[in-house]
Structure 1
Amino acid sequence: MAFFQVEKRTSNKTGAVTYKCSIRVKSKGKILYSEYRNFSKAQAANAWGRARIAEIELNGIPSQQDELPTLQGLIKFCFEDNNINTTIGRSKRYGLSLISDCNIAKLPIDQLKTKHIIEHCKLRRASGTGASTVATDISFIRWVFKTAKVNFSHEINDSCITEAYDILYSQNLISKSEKRSRRPIELEKLKVGLAERQAQRASGDIPYVEMLDFSILSCMRIGEVCKITWEDLDEENKAVIVRDRKDPRKKSGNHMLVPLIGGAFELVMKQPRKDERIFPYNSRSVTPGFQRVRAKLGIEDLRYHDLRREGASRLFEKGYAIDEVAQVTGHRAMALT
């Protein structure tokens, strides 16, 4: 007898509600087959349960010896599952797509061995990829394993990854991300390049240099810079409300009043009031321009996010206290910068 059951679950950490749909096939009190998936809505869980039961009744109990999907297949499943797909950021999506085209992704997951992980890292390093970027590859693969195990009921063992770490570090195939300081010479080169790009384009285009300076001084992410509005600017107290600021504990509604110190307020007041937003530009247009200039200048391993660290360093150098800088960056612990 095949049946399904939907169980409502609430996370103790975040309070998020999910619905676990469990499929079971029993005979004479013995469970012959079981699987489950998690959903964000009860309706979706029930719909999947009904469809899965109908499929089992039509085709019989799935063989426990069915061939497991490849790593490429698991990545595809994650992209196709709306509940998972909506949680994948741009960087992770790009990284997973790249991994999906690599040789390692063609192997069935039950055939992946430590040697395959090491070989993948060697090939990536040989192509000129940095050790910290390769480490991100491995973290993404491990994320796919964990996600597939919970959501798709695949029996996956990530020991091929965990057992490879010591070798990968010892051979400098992977490394932890370096907290590089973007000091004046490198940033001045970048500003000159951005100014040249700005001058070559039609008037009214993105003011790259001022946005770079503001990003550093305000310690805001580029998405936050492009969202702040004149209405949320407190000119008297030199502060601005940053709405839905990124917080691992809270996906939305995390509005923060951020002080504009160290010259950030003066930069805001220089902007023309031609839109409800102070910097009325698409962040997805700003970042590629920044990346093209960075690549042209040969500045390696520099992300827009690194400007937040530079900004925090400058505020400390100007004598601001830890709690003042934490208010600007939005971090409860300054170690996060």
Structure 2
Amino acid sequence: MTRFTDHPARKGHAMGTIRSHRRQDGTTGYTAQVRKKKKGKTIFNRTATFNTRKEAAGWIKFVEAHIKAPDQLEALLQKQASKSLAEVIRLYTESLGENVGRSKLQCLNALARFDIAENDVASLNAAQFVKFAKALAKGEQPNPLEPTKNDKNYFTLKPRSPATVSAYMSYLGVVLKFAGPLVDLELPEAELDRAREACAHYGIIGASNERKRRPTLEELDKLMAYFVAYREADPRAVPMHMLVLAAIFLTYRQAEHTRILWEDVNQAVEDSDPTIRIRDLKHPRKKKGNNVDVRLRPEGIAVVYAMPKVSDRVFPYHPDTISRRWTEACKVLGINDLHFHDLRHEGISRLFEMGLGIPQVASQTGHKSWATLQRYAQLKKTGDKYKDWPWLKLIGL
């Protein structure tokens, strides 16, 4: 436990105090504090920590002198009330706690490390936001968390698509819209809206293009062979071959697979029309608690029951680990531009090619909006290309 000792900075001055405390490395730190009250209410409070008591006392003397000078207290109070964009983002994410999605959190944490985030948030204007969006599109990187540990290629420009820049600006907009009451400030939401309109006009931000990439059976054969061999060499490794089968035959999103509970599966197979509960299904507004029951096909049930029960979850793996293993495998095998999420697209395409209609597919994928599935409606009914796929033997089919 850290112990603090209070000492007045100078006799006769109750406003400034110094507290000594033992640091984890065994050295002593001196935290100086200057407080000013008005009518019993603290109107100014500033602290700083130093290595020596002399430095702390000198800082207190400096601050007190500024407070006593004409107009200086008002200026300091105004500065104290301001917040940087980085501070506002941090307070916003902390207030959300576990109710923030992984992608959103990663994006906001990155935003807080760009130079623009060092500015007083209330002073930001449309021109600064447009300049930032252009920097994102150009491929500028956020300041590293640990500068000394990043390689020389860290700041290499990595251009971003209009859709990616749009996502950054959208998340920033959410912060400016809802974080104001947290910091008791008027945030420049209107300025960001103006900037986004301009960015859309100039093509800096825009909607994402629909991906049409589907894996070939040859590519899937290579991946399955690679993942099976990897697992045989290291039984502790994530069974990526099973996750490939799950993505195609269950058709859920990557993170949704990792939230499937055995108790939901056990309940499902007892029904003549088996269903399974997908927890926290992706929804544009509801981040938590959007649990949806979807129908299970025989091949989906087979995938689930081919998994060993080592946890309360069927696939007890972190989505980031799955992404890393997938990316590594594609790189080793020379498979280009194939995302793990493309397997879901493949699985949904398969259902339409087998002759299922939009309502039937939606009941299995969890899509609330049938409009989202319209893109698949033009697929020809060619049958199930996986009917005789050799890798089905892994799930007993």
Query: Structure 2-normalised TM-score?
Result: 0.60
Confirm or deny: 8 A CA contact 2:166 2:205 kept in the other structure: yes
Give RMSD over aligned pairs: 3.4
Q: Which of 137, 144, 148 in structure 1 is aligned with 2:168?
A: 137
Q: Distance in 2 between matches of 1:181 and 1:141?
A: 29
Task: Give yes or no for the alignment of 1:156 onto 2:187.
Answer: yes
Residue of structure 2 in register with 1:286 after alignment:
322
Residue of structure 2 in register with 1:115 after alignment:
127
Q: Distance in 2 between matches of 1:72 and 1:251?
A: 25
State, as a whole percentage, how many aligned pairs show the same letter: 23
Tell me the alpha carbon deviations over residues 88-127 of structure 1, each in whole angstroms, 9 at most, x when there is no partner. 1111111111111111111111221222222212222222
Q: Distance in 1 between matches of 2:290 and 2:108?
A: 29
Q: Distance in 1 between matches of 2:38 and 2:98?
A: 27
How far apart are residue 253 of structure 1 and its match?
7.7
Residue of structure 2 in register with 1:199 after alignment:
229
Structure 2: tracts of 5 or more residues without a match: 1-36, 46-73, 140-158, 374-397
Q: Which of 89, 96, 99 in structure 2 is aligned with 1:75?
A: 89
Task: State how 1:89-238 maps to structure 2 within 5 Å.
Answer: 89-127=101-139, 128-185=159-216, 189=219, 192-193=222-223, 195-201=225-231, 202-203=234-235, 205-226=237-258, 227-229=260-262, 231-234=266-269, 237=272
Confirm or deny: 8 A CA contact 1:198 1:206 kept in the other structure: no
Confirm or deny: 8 A CA contact 1:75 1:100 kept in the other structure: yes
Amino acid at match of 1:58: K
Structure 1: tracts of 5 or more residues without a match: 1-53
Amino acid at match of 1:254: N
Following superposition, which runs of at least 4 residues in structure 1 exceed 6 angstroms of deviation? 61-64
SS in 2 for 1:311: helix
How far apart are residue 145 of structure 1 and its match?
0.4
SS in 2 for 1:231: helix
Q: Distance in 2 between matches of 1:301 and 1:159?
A: 39
Residue of structure 2 in register with 1:322 after alignment:
358
Structure with bigger RCO (C-alpha 8 Å, 6+ apart): 1
Q: Which of 41, 45, 58 in structure 2 is aligned with 1:58?
A: 41
Residue of structure 1 in register with 2:288 after alignment:
251
How far apart are residue 291 of structure 1 and its match?
3.9
Q: Distance in 2 between matches of 1:294 and 1:331?
A: 29
Residue of structure 2 in register with 1:242 after alignment:
277
Task: Give yes or no for the alignment of 1:261 onto 2:297.
Answer: yes
| Aligned length in residues | 278
Structure of higher CA gyration radius: 2
Amino acid at match of 2:295: P
How far apart are residue 282 of structure 1 and its match?
1.4
How far apart are residue 179 of structure 1 and its match?
2.1
